[in-house]
Amino acid sequence: MYLGDVAWPDLEEYFETESLALVPLGSTEQHGPHLPEATDHLIAEAFAREAADRTGYLCTPTINVGVSPHHKQFHGTMWADAPVFRDYVESITRNLAYHGIDRVIYVNAHGGNVEHLREVGRRLRDDEVLYAIEWMWDESIPDLVDDLFEQNGPHGGPKETSMIQYLDPQLVHEDRLEDARDGGVASVEASETVKHGSRTFFDAADNTENGVLGDQTDATAEKGERLFEAATDQLVQLAEWLAGRDFEDLLPRDHV
């Protein structure tokens, strides 16, 4: 069930009988010359809505702008400063707690959000407001990602390209896939910006001229469908596992 489609009287039964919500989050940032800036939030919302449809759990509206200052050199990238992002996510999560939700899955598709979502989850758990955890789609199926792509690329690579080819193919510039590959780099290692164990880069532009890594020509919609189905299955299982826990068992343990 998508919260934004429902009139408020029709939500009463859900909040009386269920306690879990899916909150999709992504970013609005460059994804190279071939993918839309909406890539991450399109992927996050697709997973959250599909899992909600399969389980009956509540899906909230998507948070479309994330922590993305490391992509700022490329036209159109939007970002929230990290402290502001954390406070905003915490605030809207507390909204859900007000209505009776006591467990949340942040359905995330942007790596720059991960540490901040985990911090928000810690704050809310320490305050015993609710239990909120971060889920990242590709981290739920690492073996499949590795099997499908020789070089999947951490950003704008074939895994994200395949996902958008499957979810919304008209947004992919198929005629730019070779340019994306040739104008980027294969991996962070190939950019040689890790020196003696130190990550000497701060921005995507420090690693890649066109903003992406990996071999985008290795992407297909068929691979995207396999990724989507496999990761959705993992998200559904996570939601069902979390819904089945006693809330008291999710709270911090007492001091030893």
Q: Domains in the chain, please, with CATH?
A: 3-250 (3.40.50.10310)
3-state secondary structure of 218: helix
User: pLDDT tens-digit profile of 81-116?
Assistant: 999 999 999 999 999 999 999 999 999 999 999 999
pLDDT of residue 194: 86
3-state secondary structure of 78: strand
Among the listed residues 68, 76, 70, 52, the one whose alpha carbon sits nearest the alpha carbon of residue 1: 52
User: pLDDT tens-digit profile of 219-246?
Assistant: 999 999 999 999 999 999 999 999 999 9
For residue 71, is pLDDT > 90?
Answer: yes
* Bridge partners for 78 per DSSP: 28
3-state secondary structure of 130: coil
Contact residues for 60 (Cβ-Cβ < 8 A; gap 6+): 3, 4, 21, 22, 23, 24, 48, 92, 96
User: pLDDT tens-digit profile of 137-187?
Assistant: 999 999 999 999 998 888 999 999 999 999 999 999 999 999 999 999 988
**Residue 109 half-sphere exposure, CB side, CA atoms within 13 Å?**
33
Average pLDDT of the chain? 96
pLDDT of residue 96: 98
Q: Find tokens 């939601």 and name the residue.
A: 239
pLDDT of residue 181: 94
Apex 222 CA angle, 220 and 226, nearest 5: 120
**Between the CA atoms of 86, 38, 105 and 52, what dihedral angle is there, to the nearest 10 degrees?**
150
For residue 136, is pLDDT > 90?
Answer: yes
pLDDT of residue 126: 97
pLDDT of residue 152: 84
- Please, what is the end-to-end C-alpha distance for the chain in angstroms? 41
Helix pair angle (221-243, 158-167), 10° resolution: 90
| Spatial distance between the Cα atoms of 214 and 243, rounded to a whole number of angstroms | 37
What is the DSSP code string of 32-62? TTTB-TTHHHHHHHHHHHHHHHHH--EEPPP
3-state secondary structure of 255: coil
Instruction: Report, as an integer, the average pLDDT of 8-26.
Output: 97
Instruction: Report, as an integer, the average pLDDT of 186-215.
Output: 88
Looking at residue 139, its amino acid is E
| Percent of the chain with pLDDT strictly greater than 70 | 100
Distance of CA 200 to the CA centre of its chain: 25
Structural contact between residues 109 and 43, judged by C-beta atoms closer than 8 angstroms: yes
3-state secondary structure of 74: coil
Instruction: Report, as an integer, the average pLDDT of 122-135.
Output: 98
pLDDT of residue 179: 95
Structural contact between residues 237 and 172, judged by C-beta atoms closer than 8 angstroms: no
User: pLDDT tens-digit profile of 41-63?
Assistant: 999 999 999 999 999 999 999 99
For residue 201, is pLDDT > 90?
Answer: no
Q: 134 falls in which pLDDT band (50, 70, 90)?
A: very high
